[in-house]
A and B are shown apart, each in its own frame.
Chain A
Amino acid sequence: MRVLGIETSCDETGVAVYDSERGLCAHAVYSQTEIHAVYGGVVPELASRDHVRKTLPLIRQTLTEAELSPEQIDGVAYTAGPGLIGALLVGAALGRALAWAWEVPAIGVHHLEGHLLAPFLEDKPPPCPFIALLVSGGHSQIIHVPEVGIYQLLGESVDDAAGEAFDKTAKLLGLPYPGGPQLARLAERGDPTRYRFPRPMTDRPGLNLSFSGLKTYTLNALQQTLGERDDTEQVHADIARAFEEAVVDTLVIKCRRALESTGVPRLILAGGVSANRRLRERMAAAMQPLGAELYYPRAEFCTDNGAMIAYAGWRRLAAGHQQPLAITPRPRWPLTDLVPLA
């Protein structure tokens, strides 16, 4: 079965074709980052407008690259939520109409299920059960996945998402939007011993997270250094490093706790922040003493993309799920509301 996947939940237009026999056939992502950069954040109306311009050309391009004709597509999957309502509507309307015209089934995919299943696009997919650390621009969750389609929330951020914290801290350091990946790059040059930020909520039981307080530490470090040091660039790198260490450490501590308390010997990382190199390395090191396995998608499938939507859509379509002839995106849609596959 071949499924066309469409992602338009935020500021990336992603399209892909997944083949249940051959794997991923082709995929393309167009990022709107440049459009929104001057505004310092995503402008929903501009995002929606750009999705209307880009989605269909990307579909055509992806089919051409996959060397597939429309008759060879057996289903259409699109992100139905959560996300920006106007942006979701574009992909949902186009995708649902396309499936109607092709006379194939359609499925509205949960964006976070897409992220969670992205590791399945790799050569060695994780077996179930596993614990998932989902760290993205809008979410930071630790989830128990006994089988694909069943998601039990073990803990989540009580305030900022991890990616959001990366972006906000980057802004404080004067990095252009969206600053997460740039902050990570800057941190490479930072001295990890220079500043020490706390590891929020690690001193109490449970698996919830909190990242908003780290902004204050960043500001304090910046202020305290004013006048003390004149190597501003190195100060910024040292602060970036301290921030990254704090986030990574916190996530490692909580994931270790989740694995120990559930007895599940497997962890997957997903979402934009799981592209972070230090997070991957430190998590891998933490798995060894536990005898646990670690899985994560290639960097380009950590952030928003059509491949994960095509894959998740295929899993649901193959299990007999279908979206009726209506366009019904859900901007707010708890992952735990998803119906199990079987």
Chain B
Amino acid sequence: MPANPNDQPTILALETSSGACSAALLHQGAITQHLELAPRRQGDLLLGMLDALLKAAELKLSEVDVIAFGQGPGAFTGVRIGTAVAQGAAFGANRPLLGISSLAGLAHAGWRHYGGGEQRLFAAIDARIGEIYCGAFAVNGQGQAQPLGSETVTTPEKLTVPEIAVTHGVGNAWALYDEPLRARIDLAQAQIASTIHGEAQDIAALARWSLDQACAAELAQPVYLRDQVAAIPGSALLDSAPVAA
């Protein structure tokens, strides 16, 4: 496997953690992608997209260096479809598997949207029941993302963020919680893009920087962030298991 991005690794990537379904192939330094806004249709589309990408590049699955997938956080079901497909493909073709944070992917999408360069982005998406999944990232001129602090699930009101001047806010949480988020984040004159989704091409681009972390297929697992999903009878906890679609 190529050890650094300049060796032009071949990466097959997918991202299904949001309402979109996308697959991308990074090959000989060029990226191709299929993307559809397809809530609940990822199962119908994903494998066909991956297959078409490989066929168009006249590649076999076993010839890719790494399979990368958006491992969440996001919609539970979407995250699991992506993980299971990535696991099946990686195990089946005997290729290493690399899980990439879907929030980092979203930050990278924002970085692309705003024309690259050095950016500090706050990525936040709706997690239902009044909460958000969020994380801050510094992205450098080459598109390498560095997490600033850890990713969390929280209500916007309880959000604590690193003391950084954010240049851009991305993700649909900004459309829902603009006010509480602005109250807590040092935005200065930041720009906000709430309609951006992380895409497979972002996962592929980020994967270039962490190829050494690729692992055996079964070791790559979803990241949910939310672990409290059911109440034990008799305990006075939330019963409204937030089962995301």
On whether the beta carbons of A86 and B77 are closer than 8 Å, the reply is yes
Is residue A329 contacting chain B, with contact meaning CB distance below 8 A? yes
The size bracket of the interface on B is 35 or more
* A251 CB to nearest chain B CB (Å): 31
Chain A binder among B87-95, B137-145, B151-159, B199-207: B87-95
On whether the beta carbons of A89 and B222 are closer than 8 Å, the reply is no
* B79 CB to nearest chain A CB (Å): 9
Contact residue among A38, A94, A99 (Cβ-Cβ distance under 8 Å from B84): A94
A34-62, CB < 8 A from B: 38-40, 43-46, 48-49, 52-53, 55-57, 59-60
On whether the beta carbons of A100 and B88 are closer than 8 Å, the reply is yes
Inter-chain CA distance A46–B43, complex, in Å, is: 20
Chain A binder among B128-136, B179-187, B227-235: B227-235
Asked if A328 meets B51 with Cβ closer than 8 Å, knowing A90-B80, A93-B85, A98-B88, the reply is no
If over half of A's interface residues share one DSSP class (helix, strand or loop), that class is named, otherwise mixed; here it is: helix
On whether the beta carbons of A45 and B241 are closer than 8 Å, the reply is yes
Chain A residue contacts of B232, Cβ below 8 A: 38-39
On whether the beta carbons of B47 and A100 are closer than 8 Å, the reply is yes
Is residue A326 contacting chain B, with contact meaning CB distance below 8 A? yes
Is residue A96 contacting chain B, with contact meaning CB distance below 8 A? yes
With both beta carbons as reference points, the residue of chain B lying nearest to A53 in the complex is identified as B221
On whether the beta carbons of A329 and B243 are closer than 8 Å, the reply is no
A297-342, CB < 8 A from B: 325-329
On whether the beta carbons of A326 and B77 are closer than 8 Å, the reply is no
Contact residue among A39, A53, A86, A95 (Cβ-Cβ distance under 8 Å from B233): A39
Contact residue among B48, B61, B90, B229 (Cβ-Cβ distance under 8 Å from A46): B229
Inter-chain CA distance A45–B50, complex, in Å, is: 27
Is residue A213 contacting chain B, with contact meaning CB distance below 8 A? no
On whether the beta carbons of B61 and A101 are closer than 8 Å, the reply is yes
Inter-chain CA distance A136–B221, complex, in Å, is: 32
**5 further contact pairs, Cβ within 8 A, besides A48-B80, A90-B84, A97-B86:** A89-B81, A89-B84, A93-B43, A94-B85, A101-B88
Which residues of B come within 8 Å of A, CB atoms? 43-48, 50-51, 61, 76-77, 80-81, 83-94, 217-218, 221-222, 224, 229-233, 241, 243
23 A-B interface contacts by CB (under 8 A)? A43-B229, A44-B243, A45-B230, A45-B243, A46-B229, A46-B230, A48-B77, A52-B80, A85-B77, A93-B43, A93-B85, A94-B84, A94-B87, A96-B85, A97-B84, A97-B85, A97-B86, A97-B88, A98-B92, A99-B92, A325-B51, A326-B45, A326-B48
